[in-house]
Amino acid sequence: MESSLDEFVRSAGLPTLGVRSPQWTAVMGEGEPEVEVEASTFELFRSFGGRRSEAQIRSLAWRGDPGPYLAIFDDGPLTMRAEILIE
């Protein structure tokens, strides 16, 4: 999953994205992250795995504007739920 997200960020020309949890860190793109998202490993995997809605993804701890990255969950390699899912 990480390599396809990295490729999506690069090919879309998006600023470098840092993804962090207490157990896991990844950088999508080249260089220092200009935008970061941080959440529990559970929430990140649920978000990147199609189990969260746009509202839930936007509610994660973002440093920077998540808007340009929402395409990752919609038009990119992943999917986004239409409705909120509480697990």
Percent of the chain residues past pLDDT 70, beyond the cut:
93
- 10 Å Cβ neighbour count for 57? 23
Averaged pLDDT for residues 2-26: 90
pLDDT tens digits, one per residue of 43-81: 998 888 888 999 999 999 999 999 999 887 776 567 777
pLDDT at 29 over 70: yes
How far is 81 from 74, CA to CA, in rounded Å? Answer: 9
Which class is domain 2-74? alpha beta
How far is 10 from 31, CA to CA, in rounded Å? Answer: 11
pTM for this structure? 0.83
Averaged pLDDT for residues 21-26: 94
- For the chain, the domains span 2-74
Residue type, 50: G
